[in-house]
Amino acid sequence: MTRARTLLLHLSVCLTLLVLDLWTKAAIFRFLGAEVIERPGTTPVLRAERDHVIFPGFALEAAINLGAFNGMLSGVPWLLLGMGVVAAIGTLVIALLPPRMPVTLSVALGMIAGGALGNLYDRVTYGAVRDFVKWYVGDHVWPNFNIADSGIVVGVSLILLHEIRLSRRERAARAGSTPEAGDLEPDES
């Protein structure tokens, strides 16, 4: 894909994920009667009225995260803010560096940028990231997350998948064989 198309796809995916993330956070927090209360000079506090079980093992539950995954780095909010800015700008730069970019990578970078911007917005506005998706099995609970987090994970997974396929292709070329049809990505020019 050319740089112009890469830029258009990257920005489209980024903005779509950002809007979807911010909309779902606002809508679900409103549905759950949840509110982030920020007092100057103190840690934000969550006020929530209820949770909503969709089915056993999956629920909507308002939560705030002062750090990254499961609260890591919560003591250094400036680092998390900086990482969000670097991720958003860095993905755009990476997408525009090569003269041609595969569609998969452009989408992946757009998802990472959109997720980074969604969580960056929350950190700046609320002092914490709003999370609402809860998966659990019995007493075992996965840390709550949101659409932005999902976008980042899917984006990174797409990049890893692309690199694995590329590595297989290169190994097959060195060995003089042809990779399986499923290992090849179509020409995305």
The residues that are catalytic are 131, 149
Rounded (5°) CA angle 63-128-152: 85
Alpha helix ranges (H) inside the chain: 3-31, 77-96, 103-126, 147-175
Residue 130: name the closest of 28, 19, 16 by CA: 28
What kind and span of H or E run contains 55? strand 52-55
Q: How far is CA 155 from CA 60, 172, 187, in A?
A: 23, 26, 20
Residue 136: name the closest of 55, 53, 50, 58 by CA: 58
CB 163 within 8 A of CB 171: no
CB 91 within 8 A of CB 48: no
158 vs 107: CA distance, rounded Å: 9
